[in-house]
Structures are given as C-alpha cells and as structure tokens.
A and B are shown apart, each in its own frame.
Chain A
Amino acid sequence: MKVKNYGLVLVLLFLSVTSSFAQERTITGKVTSAEDGMPLIGVNVIVKGTSRGQQTDFDGGYSIQASTGETLVFSYLGTKTIERLIGETSTIDVIMEADNTLDEVVVVAYGGVSTLKKNPAAISTVKAEILEDRANASALQNLQGQVAGLNIATGSGQPGEDSTIILRGAGSINGNIEPLFIVDGIPVDEDNFRSINPNDIETFTVLKDAGAANIYGNRAANGAIVITTKKGRYNEGMKFRYSAAYGNSELQDQPFELMNSTEILQFQRTNNAGLGAGLTDSEIAAIAAQANTSWADVFFRTGRTESHDLTMTSGGEKSNNFTSLQYFKQDGIFVGSDFQRFSLRNNFNGKTEDEKFNYGLNLFLAFSETNELDNAGSGSTFFNPFSAALQGLPYLSIYDADGSQTIDGGITPGDANAILSNGATNFPYVLLNSIALNTDREEEIKILASFNSEWNFAKNLYARVQMGADLSTESRLEILHPNSILGPFQANVIGNQAQFGGIHEETYTRDFRFNVSPSISYSNVFNDKHDVTATAYFEYSKGFLDGIDFDQTGLDPRLVGTGTSFIPGTTVEQGVNPYIPVVNSFTSEVGNLSVFGTLDYEYDGRYGISAGIRRDNSFRFIEDNAWGTFWSVAGRWNISDEAFMDGSGFDLLKLRASHGVSGNDRITGGYYGGLNQTRSLYVAGTGYNGSVSTVVSQLENRTLKWEETTQTNIGIDFAILDNKLSGSVDVYNKTTDDLFQNNQISLINATSTIQSNIGSLVNEGIELALNYRVFSDEDWKISVAANGSYNENTIEQLPPSTNGLVNTGGSTALGEGQALGSYYLVRYLGVNPSNGNPLFLKADGVTVTETLDAANDRVFLDKSFYPTWQGGFSTDVRYKGFELSTQWSFVADVWLNNLDYADLQEVSVGSVNNGRNRSVTVNNAWQTPGDITDIPRVGSTISSVGYINSTDRYLEDASYLRLRNITFAYTIPTRFLENTPISGVRFYLQGENLLTFTKFRGWDPESNFRATNRGQFPTPKIYTFGATINF
C-alpha cells in the first residue's frame, strides 16, 4: 500500500488512536501457503504499531481485535511479510508467499525484536530446529560451526562438559573472554549449560558488534548470545509432541600405531632395561602369547545414549502455555563417566482483553547427575586415567587367574612396591581399580526463572519489567575407597601403617544470581516515515556464591558412602591423630548497577540509526574508577530500497556500520573472581610449628578500572536471485584497552605480579555467511549454507617493565606484536646423523646446536592455540518426506603441543623402563652413525616434557575439519495418518563427529584452547536413532 496523501494518514492515525475502543471489531481470516494451499500454523498476526498480536491456529485461522484504518501485519518464518489495511470487511484471508527471509524476526538486546531488513547491527541467528535431536548433552556444543566468528571449544568427551566460547577472538589476557549469555531475558552462568534442555531452545541469537551487544555494556565486551525458549500460541488447541532417541557412542579413530607385546619387549631387550631385558625370543613369544592388551579397549567402551522429550502446548484467547519434560542419559565412552538429566519447563504468556498489558513467566527446573573422571591433563601417574588408556603396557594381562577381567591386577591395596616397581608399570591396574571402586559425582539442581511484562499505559508509551534468577546448587561427592589400591596410602602416618585409609570429600555450592531491569519506552511514527523509539532502562544485578566443603581422611570400609564411615578425628594411632577432617566454608558476593538509554530512529524504512549510552557501576573498582560510561552508534542504509536500485537484481542490499565502547570488570575472568583487588588484605592461616599465622595475602592496586573494548564493524547484508542466495559480510576491529594483566613487580613485594590495567590487544577480522537454496520444487528442496571467519589477534602493548615479553617458563608467552596464546620455543631441527643427538636452531636462526638453551634460544613461532580461521558449512537435501542433512565445522591455523605423542616417543636416558608403551615409530630411533631418522638415540638427554616445555618438536597443527552432524530422516506423509489422532511422525538416524580430518597425531585435535594435550578425554562419535510423534 502506498499512501501519497500524508494528511489523510495523519487523520487516520489520529482517529485510530482516539477512537479505538469504540470502533474496534473482530477481524478473522485464514492464512494459507502459496506453495501448497495448506493452512499455515503459527503465523504472527499483529496490529501495526501496537502490541496486539496473536498467532494462527491449527487451521491457519486467526481472530484479532482491530479498527478500520489499522494495518494487520502477517509474518512467518521463511515467508514474505504481508501488510493489510483494514477497511470495511471483517474477513481478511492471506496467502503467504514462501522464501523471503528478510523480514524474519531477529531477537535483539533486552527482549526487543527487529527484522533482518531493519536491524543495523551484526547479528547472527540460529534457529534451534536445525539443531534439534542432536545427541550432545550441552546445547552449546551444537552451535560449533554454525555462526561466523563464534568458536565453541569443548575439548572433552565428558557428556555435559563446559565449553569455552570465544566470539571474534579472545579479547582479554586475564579477564573474562567469554560472551554474555542471556536466556529469556536474564543473564545466566556461561559456564553451566549441562542442566539446560537443548530442545527447549527456539533460537540462539549471537550479538557480535558494538551496535548489537553494547546495550549490555558492562558485560558484553565479548559480545552476547541471547537464547529464547519455545512458547505456546494464542488460540491453539492442545498439542503434544513426543520424541525418543537411543544411541551409541564410541572413540574416534586412532591415527598412530602402538607397539604390541612382542615389539615393546624387543625394544626393552635391545636397550637392556625393563621386563624384556635379557629375554630370549621364545621367552618374549611366551609373554606375548599370554597377553597383548589394548588398554584403550579396556578403558574406552561403547556408551549408551537415551532421551525422551515430551512437550505440550496450548493456547486460549488471552493466555498460552508451553510445557516440556525431558529425560536424557548419556554414557561417556570412558568407563566411569556418565551423565543424566531430568528437566521441566513451563513458559506461560498472558494478556488483557484490551491487549494493553501482557506478561510472560518462564520457569525451568532441572536435576542433573554427572559421574566423571578427574585429572585429565595431569602428569600424575596414578590419577590420570586417560594416560593409562593410551600408555599402558600391552604385556600386562587384563585377566585374573580365573579368566575374569581383573579390577586390581592382583595388587594388594597399599602395596607400594607392587605399584612403583619397574617405573610404575602397573599403573593401569591402579587406575582401573580406582575407577571401579571410587566415586566422583556431581549432582546439580538448576532453576531458571524469568518474568517479563509490558504495559502500554498511555499512547505510544510502554512500561516494561524484566526480572529473573539463575540458581545452581551443586553437590559434589568424591570418595577414594579405603579398599582401593591407593586407599591405604591416604592417611598421613609414617609408613602407611594407619589402620584406615580412603578419603571422603563433599562440596556443596549454591550460586544465586538475580537481575531486574525496568524500562520505559516511547515509540511513534511521524508522517508515516519517521519511526522513533526511545527507551530508558535501569538494571540491578546481584550474585551470591556460598559453599561448604570437607575432607575426611580415614574411612571404615564397611560403611563407605556417608558420614557413618568416618573415623573420628580424635582417634590416636602411633601417637598422632591421623584422621582429622579438613573443613571449609566460603561465600562471595557481586553486584552491578546500571542506567542506560537507547534511541532508534528509522526514516522511510531505508535508513535507520540506533544509539545507546549507559553508565555502569562496578564494586570491583573504587572512587572515580567505579563508574564507566559505555556507548554505541549503529546505522544502516537499505540501498536496495532506493529507487535507483530498481531492477538491480538485489532483493536486499543493506550497508551497516557500528562503533562503540563496552566494558569488562571481571578482572580475573570468573564471575566471582577478583572481588577486592583494590585492597591489601591479610589472612590467618597455618603458621610455623603448627601455630596460627597472620600474613599478607593480597597487595592492593587502587587504580584498577574498567577494561574497555572499542569495536568498529562494517557489514553488508544481501539477497539476490529472488532471495535464493543471501548472506552477509562483516569486517571488524575490536581493540581492548586498559587490559587486565599481571604487571610484573619486584619480588621484594613477596609476589611477582599485581593485577593492573596495562596495554592493549586487537582482534581484527572478516566474517562471511552464505545461504543458498539450490533447488526447490514440490518434491525436492536442496539448500547449502556456509560460514567462515578470519581473526587476527595481536597484543599491542604489554607492561613496560617486561620489554614486550612475558615468559613465565611454559611453552607459550605473551609478546608484543604476537597473538595471544603464541608458542615461544626453541626450534627443533631433527637428529644429528653422526651421534643421534637432537639438533636445535639457536635464536639467530642460523647456528645449529646440540645444546638446548631454553633461556636464550626461544623464538616466537607465529603459532597460537587460538585459531585464526574457523567456520562451518552445511547441506540439506529433502525429497518428499526424506531429508539428509550434514553440518561440518573447521578450524585452521591452530596449534597444539602434543605431549601424549611425545610420551609415546620417549627415548631419554633412563626412560626405557618407565612403565609405558611406545609408538612403533620408536623402532626408528638413531642407532649407528649415518642413520637418518627423526627419533634421537635411546638414552639422549631431553625428556618428552623437556621437548614440550622448551622446543617445537611436538608442536602440531591441530587444524581439523569435522563432520559435526549427519542426519537422515523420514517424515510419514500426513495422508497415512488421517484417521488417527496422530498428526505427524518423523524418524531419524543421526551421527555426531563421525568424520574428522586432521594432521594432529592424537585421538582428538579439538581442545578448549589449551597449550598442551596430555591425557585428555577425547570427543566421541555418537550415533542415535530417534522418532518424533505429534498428536
């Protein structure tokens, strides 16, 4: 509709508002699809410029109160939005044309909505329906590879494990680097998603640039991820959806070959150490015939996955409801690891007769239980089970004499000689025994509750309130069983002669976060061209973390599990009290206060500007530094709507630009970290000779202030070929100033560093997202999508005292001009053919040396454990009821120090009998002058850890391309279900992580941005079969 007569419009507007009560009437109609004429369910029907709206029912019908002169807006995912002016008729039927994504609703900050066409900021939306039915316990894991610039790194196969999330590069050195997470309007703990039901989620919206995220100013320096859960619809009958899935998970392929019993014994014989030393061929054959154990097969298993989801939706005229129940259980692929969750959600929405007031309440309750294995990554022989699975010697038999699988290898608990002899050869038995007998369980109850309401209390004026809470309580139980092999070693009495062993530790924590944000908004359209919205907000947040913890050493083996097993602390043995429990209690509190405002202005649909400014207070800073001012400006120009673009072929061409500053007050990263760094503090602790001491625990830095991130973003959204091909391109520069860093101070201060605001860090990059509907007709639908990003991270300035280099002795260092996470190592050149010693390149880049000089010859290698390239792509092919979809993700130019592989090639002096298996490649070790090989002589100086800490010998390219998901599904045609209560049935078969392409020599190249891989829990392959029934 084009209205040329502005005067008339003004009159109509005026009339419509002032007389709306009198003339409002019921408009009804039916919405159908242009494609097949079928009714469309869930189409949004709203009266333009008001908050009155509803969704079409099961038959595509709607019924809404409206007045002559008002406009009805019909919008639906994947269709063109239609506007109809209400005239005399009370029936308006609408046919929706498919395939226009431009008016799709986009969720923006603070519960607002916009459309792709109108939004001026860099935002990516992922509709959860494409992630539905995936077999990951954590919803976030499903997001990897879905959004340009977003990296979800999990790096563990423990079901429900927390992921590390970075958006557009790591933006802080010591401070928080993860984006803000909002679920239904309330900020939640970004490190805890295991208890959340992924199938409750409707959309993930990733707010990337200053224009999008800055309104969350004090917390969104790293962007924000806004999660919206599913809702019911008004005027809709009761509906049920049940889905069930079952599946298996297993270990990834092993890209290296381990020695078998014969090979390792021959290796030991050749080097005259260990069991193989001095054995004859026949003796070796005899041992090898008895046992050739693959410890990976012992520790890894096929895990089971099972899930059941039931959702119920219903809607009346003025209220609607969504209820979901879920049970999910998944075994880890490592013995002793599993996860299960029960969750319940209810999302209720209601509104008044006149539709001037509406409210919603989202309640979520979940209980989850995790059994897990500690010490992944640890170098502790008897505690890292993953190293045992990788490095256990094959000639150790897994069977007891009676032929059953052993759980102790015949070792008596407390027999130190048995577990330490021959380089602790028997350590896999110890780990197996610990897993079988010990407990490591976390139980969590999580409640998310959010309330929102809106009151259109006067013409163009809205009052809104959003409030909510995130409560997590975790109870953690760890029992080291007194009857386990390690049990008797736990009591601290000379000679392990304490009568009772074992440890029982319990930790209980409660994390409660509360947030309330009222706002007042004015919204109006002038002259039908000037669309203005101005909003003022206030926000108040508090968080409380409390907990208790105790450790009881000394358990009665008959009663293990509760306090009844505790041996009293007053018990005296050998003149001492070996069983005194250790108890602890802790509490932390945080708070934030903010006032802010936003202004959105749109001219004629073609131009739009959004601006926001906010003042934030952080209790972490004092005096003038406590308040920070953050702001942003964003603008768009819909070039394709200009007259000169008629016939250009662009369905959409929009230029976006934004600039803004946001802050970070999480000095040490954690939500409850760095709470009082502006004050020097003392603690009472254990002093000399068992006394109580008073010592300084923290040095103040009174000048601490907000870390500030300034981001500039320029982007283009486009659609061509009748919207078949759409996408966006963004370039950005994100500069973090006043970085939270450890400033080096003289050690005469009793510490070497102090938290300070020093220096700057830049992330610059480009992002591309493309969607292409290759083909579409009645039977066939083929589409592909791809996204990718390049991010260059550079530390611009470090504390001046460091001369541009902070090297704390590990394999990575901070260097000016280098990326965060850059490796700083001596270059390994291979093996000297004349004597079998390793060769290194000195810092000058020319001199070759056999002497490893880690103090002087380290150089930056231009390799970091943060990737520069990442992205994903997907394909979707549908034919009638069949669908086949794939989702791939990749990261590139990312490096990982592979200590596992270094251990498998350990040949340093004295290491032959270290109780661990080797890679077959060790047979290539240098033996005689002239040998050209990449393995130094057996007995050379440098150990695996030495290579890892100081050289790049095992620094490997951890780039990978992974088939995250493949799904094959079939939906039964509705005509077969006509005379049944069932309205739809879908079967699917899906797989997670089935294929991985990488050069990395380990079970899993994926890591959560760690410098070194040692004994980690690899990401599994998961296959599930499921069915969904609607009725």
Chain B
Amino acid sequence: MKKYILKTLSIAAVLFMVSCEDATEVVQEGELNEEVAFQTVADLQSGLNGAYAAYGPDFGGNGAGDAIYTNAILSDNIKAGQASNGQGAQDYSYFVDFGGGSPASAIWANRYATINRVNRVLRAMGNLTFTVPSEITEVNHIKGQLLALRALAHLDLFEYFTVDYQDSDALAVINVDFVPLTSDAFERNTVAETVAFINADLEEANSLIDPSNTTVSTPIYINNDVIKALQIKLAIDTGDFGNDVLTKANELLAAYPLANQAQYAAMFFDGDITEVIFKLARVNGDNGVGGLFYFNQVMPSDGFLEMSNQLLNELSELPNDIRRNVNLAPASTVVGLNDPANELLINKYPGGSGGLQVNDIKLIRSSEIQLIKAEIQARNGALGDAAQTVQDLRDMRTGAASPSTPYATLDEALVDILDERRKEFCFEGKRFLDLKRIGPDVGLGVSRLPVDCGSFNAPCNLAVNDFRFTLAIPQNELDGNNAISQNPGY
C-alpha cells in the first residue's frame, strides 16, 4: 500500500501545484484611486473641471429635466408642441411625483452630485502640500472656484426645497462640506444655518480667487463678479434689500452694461458677452439644452414643447421688442391670437458651434441685476426710481427710449418687475422660482390661458402659496436617508 500512497501524493502534487494568485487577486486595468488621481495642481484643476461639468441646470430632455425644464413646465411659458407624445404632461398637470426622473429628483441629485465632486477635490487638496508660491496661488484660485460652485449648488437647493426663505428656524437643505460615508444619514439644516453656510463659502471664495488669473476674464469661469452676483441673489432671497446690496448691484451694472438689441440677439447664438456675468460653457459633445423642447432641432413638427400663447402675447406687447424675435423662431406659425393651431417654436437655444441643440447656458446676466436693482428700489419705497430702472431695460430691448411712469404702489411695481422678468428670462430657469418668491407678495400663482393648458388637457392654475411651489424631497433621498424630513403637503 505504501507505494500507492506515495504515488497518490506525487500525482496530487503535480495536479494541484499550479500558481493560483492570478485567479484570486484580480485587479482590472485602469483602476484609479484617489491618491493616484490627485497628485498635482493640474490634477486638481481637472477635478475642478469635473465639478463644473457636473452642474447642469440645463440637463434633461424628452419630457424630464433640471432647472430650465422645471421652471418652464411648472409655470406658464409652455404649451404642448405639435410633436408631443405627452412629454412633460404629468409635470405640467402638477401631478405629485417626486420619484426618479421628476424635477425634484433631477435638481436635488444634480446639485448634490456637484457638491460631492467639489468636496472630493477639496479633500484631495487638503492631503497635498504645495510650497512654490505660484502653485499656492493657483491652488487657491481653484479652491475659490470650488467653494463658489458649492455655494451656487447650495443656493439652488435652498431656493427649490425651502418653503420660506426668511423663516430662520425652518428646514432648508443639507449643508455638505465633507465627503459623506455611504452609511450615514442626514437631516436638513435650518434656513439660518444654510444661509450662513452659503455666505461663508462665498466670502472665503471671494478671498481666494486670483484676479490676475486668465480665467477671470471669461464669463465661463467663476470670478469675483460671479460671487458678487450670488451674494446679491442670496441677499434678496433672505429679504435683505439694504444699501450694501444695492451698491453691489450698481458695481456689477457698471462693469456689465446692458446689451443693445444686436448684442442681445447675438448673445443667444453665443456670439456676444456684453451683459453676461456668468455662463456655463457647452461645447461639442455636451448636453444639448435644445433637447428640452425638441427631438432634433428648432424646426416645425419637431417641438414637443412650445411657447405658450400667453407668453407670446406678452412678448408682443411692446413694438420691436427684440425678445420676441429672440424667443420665437422664424419658422413658427402664428395663425391668430390664442389660436390652438399656433405653432410657437422656442428659439432661445437655436444651437451653436457645439452642435444643433448646444448652447452656452447664460446663468447670470446684468439684466437680472438690473431688475433686482429695480426690486430693491421698489421695496425701499423708491417707486419712481424702480420704474425708471425697469424702463431703462425696456428701452434697450426695444431700441427706443420711452418715458417711464412711476409705480403707484409696491404691488404694482412688483407685478411689473415679475412680468418683466418673465419676458427677459423665459426658458432660462427662473420663472417658477420668481412666482414662488415674488408671487405671494402680490397674490399671483400660475394662471395659464385655456388655449395653453388645453394643449395638455391640464389644470390652468396653481394657486399662490400652493405647497407645490416648494419641491418635494425626492423619494430616492427619503429611501436612502431615514433622518431627513419631507416638505409639508407631500
């Protein structure tokens, strides 16, 4: 038997003696961890490039999307297009939906993804040491932009998900200045905390931005002016209409004059930046914002969402208003006033060198600062100044100077400013938030024309102060975060 045992063992030895580690320790080609990913200033810059790229108020398409889609579909600037297969019908009808793909989910997820990318670069930056002064300046410039981007994302979240911007103790959003652990749960911070958090980020960012860096000369990167504009927006959200804010607005208006008609038209073809304080660059291969309204491009029978007759009527109020020409495509068919057969093609995003549906996203323009200035004046009782400030903008848009009529009341002033904002910023992701912020002051909610809401067979009105003016905390956040509280009404 002994020889069998030997034989068995030797055969076993031959059969089983093969190297095995290559079957148990398998690491794929091209795996990149954080330590290797971020080692140099250039790596940090590429991290910043990723953070900028994440921020997408223009994202979406085919009946879903982020801020631009949300503000259009949830307000009064849209009707169903000739090519509609029902894109956006449920949102337009105010069906309560905060599941995956809903506006609430899109905005919440996008802003926190942006914040996450920012915080990861900041964490990596904290683990690196730079000694060369020029490198330190460069790293600080990157950090400044990261912090401002983080503030911008928090500001957006604050505006969509907070019921009352001025109720300090009410819930706002989760302040995130860290890379979270997947196992953790988080409750929302209060309004006071979130506002303080955004302000702190903006202030620190303001001190870190290098004014001599080449990126500050182009409006596609965050510079001190962008930060100033964000500070103004946060201030008026929180009811601060003080002189400091007015001063900042005037400083920006001095640096960024309002565009004339030609410049204004060219701006939407990305050919002019006269009044652009900040825009998101969109190049070949990026998300095409036109996809929010069209399957392919601005052309008849291709738009599933069209401009509402109500908006067209407003844009047609003043003779020679460049905004009608900019927003309504020449290929549109206007059969008659409020005619259901009108095909009103949206032309704010006609496409550019980046592709058929690709345009830069003009996020902050000096016309917005101009109208904020008017609002500050009105709320401080300077109703005549306010009327003149609004009229100055109108004159630039119509190309002809007209005298202004002072507002009789604050209400009248706010209604007019709200209306002017609608014309100026339609399809730019502001209308719904404007109605949310200013609407309650003047008793206005969404009130669509029957011809517009009829195109979707949808309700025409959303009452002022309706709970749906504040978006729901999305279902997938509730599912993954058992510490968070939902907004009222949902």
Q: Which residues of A contact B (CB under 8 A)?
A: 416-417, 420-424, 457-459, 461, 463, 465, 489, 492-496, 516, 518-520, 536, 538, 540-542, 574-576, 587-593, 617, 619, 626, 675-676, 679-696, 699, 701, 743-754, 801-803, 806-809, 852-856, 908-911, 914, 939-946
- Choice from A494, A689, A911 contacting B281 with Cβ under 8 Å: A689
Which residues B447-482 have CB closer than 8 A to chain A?
Answer: 454-458, 474-477, 479-482
Rounded to whole Å, the gap between the CB of A922 and the closest CB of chain B is 17
Asked if B26 and A457 sit within 8 Å, CB to CB, the answer is no
Bound form: Cα–Cα A940–B458 in Å: 10
Rounded to whole Å, the gap between the CB of B190 and the closest CB of chain A is 17
Asked if B50 and A495 sit within 8 Å, CB to CB, the answer is no
Chain A residues closer than 8 Å to B352, beta-carbon distance: 494
Q: What are the interface flags for B198-231 relative to A under an 8 Å C-beta threshold, 1 for contact and 0 otherwise?
A: 0000000000000000000000100000000000
A-B contact count (CB 8 A): 278
Asked if B37 and A694 sit within 8 Å, CB to CB, the answer is yes
A458 (CB) vs chain B CBs: closest residue? B4
Supplied contacts A495-B356, A748-B174, 9 more A-B pairs, CB within 8 Å: A589-B28, A687-B52, A692-B46, A694-B46, A699-B182, A745-B480, A746-B481, A807-B475, A910-B455
Asked if A463 and B11 sit within 8 Å, CB to CB, the answer is yes
Asked if B117 and A695 sit within 8 Å, CB to CB, the answer is yes
Known: A750-B116, A809-B101. A676 touches B27 (CB 8 A): yes
Chain B residues closer than 8 Å to A908, beta-carbon distance: 86, 89, 457
Chain A residues closer than 8 Å to B183, beta-carbon distance: 745
B116 (CB) vs chain A CBs: closest residue? A750
Bound form: Cα–Cα A424–B183 in Å: 49
Rounded to whole Å, the gap between the CB of B107 and the closest CB of chain A is 11
Which of the segments B232-240, B251-259, B294-302, B376-384 contacts the partner chain? B294-302
B132 at the A interface (CB under 8 A)? no
B316 at the A interface (CB under 8 A)? no
Bound form: Cα–Cα A463–B47 in Å: 58
Bound form: Cα–Cα A420–B12 in Å: 72
Asked if A686 and B185 sit within 8 Å, CB to CB, the answer is no
Bound form: Cα–Cα A752–B105 in Å: 10
Asked if A694 and B47 sit within 8 Å, CB to CB, the answer is yes
Asked if A619 and B23 sit within 8 Å, CB to CB, the answer is yes
- Choice from B26, B82, B180 contacting A675 with Cβ under 8 Å: B26
Asked if B457 and A747 sit within 8 Å, CB to CB, the answer is no
Asked if A682 and B85 sit within 8 Å, CB to CB, the answer is no
Bound form: Cα–Cα A227–B224 in Å: 71
- Choice from B22, B54, B455, B476 contacting A542 with Cβ under 8 Å: B22
Known: A589-B26, A693-B46, A801-B481. A575 touches B182 (CB 8 A): no
B285 at the A interface (CB under 8 A)? yes
Known: A591-B23, A747-B109, A855-B96. A416 touches B296 (CB 8 A): yes
Known: A747-B108, A946-B90. A676 touches B98 (CB 8 A): no
Asked if B7 and A458 sit within 8 Å, CB to CB, the answer is yes
Q: Which residues of B contact A (CB under 8 A)?
A: 3-4, 7-8, 11-12, 15-16, 18, 20, 22-29, 31-34, 37-38, 43, 46-54, 80, 82-86, 89-90, 93, 95-102, 108-109, 112-113, 115-117, 120, 174, 176, 180, 182-186, 220, 281, 283-286, 295-297, 299-302, 351-353, 355-356, 454-458, 474-477, 479-482, 484
Known: A591-B24, A943-B85, A946-B90. A520 touches B11 (CB 8 A): yes
Rounded to whole Å, the gap between the CB of B411 and the closest CB of chain A is 34
- Choice from A465, A536, A745 contacting B182 with Cβ under 8 Å: A745
Known: A745-B480, A747-B112. A417 touches B46 (CB 8 A): no
Asked if A682 and B32 sit within 8 Å, CB to CB, the answer is yes
Chain A residues closer than 8 Å to B49, beta-carbon distance: 687-689, 691-694
Would you list 10 pairs from A and B whose C-beta atoms are within 8 A, ordered by A residue? A416-B302, A424-B301, A457-B8, A542-B22, A682-B37, A693-B47, A695-B47, A746-B186, A808-B476, A939-B457
Asked if A626 and B24 sit within 8 Å, CB to CB, the answer is yes
- Choice from B51, B90, B176 contacting A854 with Cβ under 8 Å: B90
Rounded to whole Å, the gap between the CB of B473 and the closest CB of chain A is 10
Known: A939-B457, A946-B86. A617 touches B24 (CB 8 A): yes
Known: A589-B28, A617-B23, A914-B85. A750 touches B100 (CB 8 A): no
Asked if B99 and A807 sit within 8 Å, CB to CB, the answer is yes
Interface centre among A422, A536, A680 (most CB of B within 10 A): A680
Rounded to whole Å, the gap between the CB of A230 and the closest CB of chain B is 29
Interface centre among A416, A461, A541, A809 (most CB of B within 10 A): A809
Chain B residues closer than 8 Å to A802, beta-carbon distance: 479
Chain A residues closer than 8 Å to B82, beta-carbon distance: 423, 910
Bound form: Cα–Cα A561–B16 in Å: 50
Asked if A576 and B95 sit within 8 Å, CB to CB, the answer is no
Asked if A945 and B85 sit within 8 Å, CB to CB, the answer is yes
Asked if B300 and A417 sit within 8 Å, CB to CB, the answer is yes
B331 (CB) vs chain A CBs: closest residue? A417
Bound form: Cα–Cα A417–B301 in Å: 8
A494 (CB) vs chain B CBs: closest residue? B351
- Choice from B15, B285, B458 contacting A463 with Cβ under 8 Å: B15
Rounded to whole Å, the gap between the CB of B325 and the closest CB of chain A is 19
Bound form: Cα–Cα A694–B457 in Å: 46
Bound form: Cα–Cα A671–B456 in Å: 46
Chain A residues closer than 8 Å to B25, beta-carbon distance: 619
Chain A residues closer than 8 Å to B31, beta-carbon distance: 676, 679, 681
Bound form: Cα–Cα A505–B218 in Å: 38
Rounded to whole Å, the gap between the CB of A419 and the closest CB of chain B is 9
Bound form: Cα–Cα A751–B38 in Å: 21
Rounded to whole Å, the gap between the CB of B319 and the closest CB of chain A is 30
Asked if A747 and B24 sit within 8 Å, CB to CB, the answer is no
